[in-house]
A and B are shown apart, each in its own frame.
Chain A
């Protein structure tokens, strides 16, 4: 329902940007998707920390599912950003933009998480190594987010500055609804995938008990 509301607001309510035209409407999904990916990675790192610190049962699995979802949202960020870049700048990718390159580094870093995870036998060693890797990765999030604020990046626009959001009230409202919709979607997908993984683990245990 939130997603439907967000799409309706983007299509019918929010005005067309005077500078970029219609292609600016990609912003209402592209930026919330990127922020949702950051949230997923952050949540994954938090669960990884809980696993290492308190040995909370299931925290490793929760961390894995959050990072999995973060990578999917990260891929969506890169593709929608690339389409927007093509529409606005005339190129699919700009290596000179620190924001783009750092987000790609972050994305590839978390892609490598799966290579690490699945190269180790299931058990405490895999959980510990994955947790440490997930915590290291979270350091890249503020670096990626602050990249264009710290560097003179004239290609990628900076919408959120220290003076607040650089957009009209209707645009900011639509942006907030879209972000809430994507956070709700990510949360629902996280819960469903996690439930599936937990049931799978229990079934495996049950199969071993019966055998």
Chain B
């Protein structure tokens, strides 16, 4: 693998990983919101 190939691969890998981390963070936030929503629904049900 030449130096130029390594740099091109590094640049594209960085973009891919950044977008992946962003998506994972958003997904975990959405999962947290879902559990908060479930908790609220249970609290409302408990109150009758």
Contact among A33, A86, A189, A203 for B40, CB-based, below 8 A: A203
Chain B residues with CB below 8 A from A189, complex form: 19, 22-23, 26
User: Within the assembled complex, what's the spacing in Å between the Cα atoms of A87 and B8?
Assistant: 8
| Inter-subunit contact B37/A22 (CB<8 Å) | no
| Inter-subunit contact A29/B2 (CB<8 Å) | no
CB distance from A66 to the nearest CB of B (A): 14
Say if the beta carbon of A30 comes within 8 Å of chain B: yes
| Inter-subunit contact A76/B40 (CB<8 Å) | no
B5-48 Cβ-contact flags toward A at 8 Å (1 or 0)? 10110111011001100110010011001001100100110010
Q: Which segment of A40-48, A77-85, A114-122, A128-136 sits at the interface?
A: A77-85
Lowest 5 A-B CB distances belong to which pairs? A87-B7, A22-B4, A83-B11, A23-B4, A80-B11
- Residues of chain A at the chain B interface (Cβ within 8 Å): 7, 21-23, 25-26, 29-30, 33, 72, 75-76, 79-80, 83-84, 86-87, 185, 189, 192-193, 196, 199-200, 203, 206-207, 210
